[in-house]
Chains A and B, each alone.
Chain A
Amino acid sequence: GAVVSQHPSRVICKSGTSVKIECRSLDFQATTMFWYRQFPKQSLMLMATSNEGSKATYEQGVEKDKFLINHASLTLSTLTVTSAHPEDSSFYICSAPTQTGSETQYFGPGTRLLVL
């Protein structure tokens, strides 16, 4: 299947700092990418839809000023957790459909964020 990468795989930061997570589609172009958050032993919860060249669409309850999304190219979307707090500690996963309008999505390996 298509390959989606994420960087970093894990990050530990101090409370109040910002953390940037990258999501890349390695062998295809993605005009849309999705960002999910997963807490331990829970399902994936959609945070936002990242759109290349336009603003991201956030799900209800997700603060757009706290979770900044930039989709500057057809292969890269970034999620920045600003002023991180311990409750932001989670597993962040991105996904991308292999073709515009396709339902088939491939997920990245995830980024484990721990905020101290």
Chain B
Amino acid sequence: GENVEQHPSTLSVQEGDSAVIKCTYSDSASNYFPWYKQELGKGPQLIIDIRSNVGEKKDQRIAVTLNKTAKHFSLHITETQPEDSAVYFCAAYQDSGYALNFGKGTSLLVTP
């Protein structure tokens, strides 16, 4: 099955700086890569996703890049704000039953 590796496990940045979280996947057939933000005690919230037919997607301060050859994708958050502090999960689409395989998560802390 699909194996998704996520790094780093924790990330601390100062407000206004950029944050980058990286993920790699093992199944070359994967073609959909969402990113979720999870705040304490809440369910994951979809923040951005990318499909294999594009290399980059941007939504305001958030962007995701995908390198299918290398089988890795990254989340970029610019001009970070304290409210960006949360746990971020990457995932890869598993085509049997449309379930997602998640990375282990990155705890992002943005300090004022």
Least Cβ distance of B73 to chain A in Å? Answer: 14
Q: Are A105 and B34 neighbours in the complex by a CB distance under 8 Å? A: yes
| Residues of B in contact with A, size category | 20 to 34
Q: Are A46 and B98 neighbours in the complex by a CB distance under 8 Å? A: no
Q: Are B104 and A107 neighbours in the complex by a CB distance under 8 Å? A: no
A43 within 8 A of B: yes
A106 within 8 A of B: yes
| A34 touches which of B45, B49, B99 (Cβ 8 Å) | B99
Chain A contact residues: over half helix, strand or loop, or mixed?
strand
In the bound complex, residues from chain B placing their C-beta under 8 Å from that of A57 are 97
Chain B contact residues: over half helix, strand or loop, or mixed?
strand
**What 1/0 flags go to B52-92 for Cβ under 8 Å of A?**
00000000000000000000000000000000000001000
Q: Which B residues contact A (CB, under 8 angstroms)? A: 32, 34, 36, 41-46, 49, 51, 89, 93, 97-105
26 A-B residue pairs with Cβ-Cβ distance under 8 Å, sorted by A, are: A6-B43, A32-B97, A32-B98, A34-B99, A43-B103, A44-B44, A44-B89, A46-B99, A46-B100, A49-B97, A49-B99, A93-B43, A95-B100, A102-B98, A103-B34, A103-B51, A103-B98, A104-B32, A104-B46, A105-B98, A106-B46, A107-B44, A108-B43, A109-B43, A110-B41, A110-B42
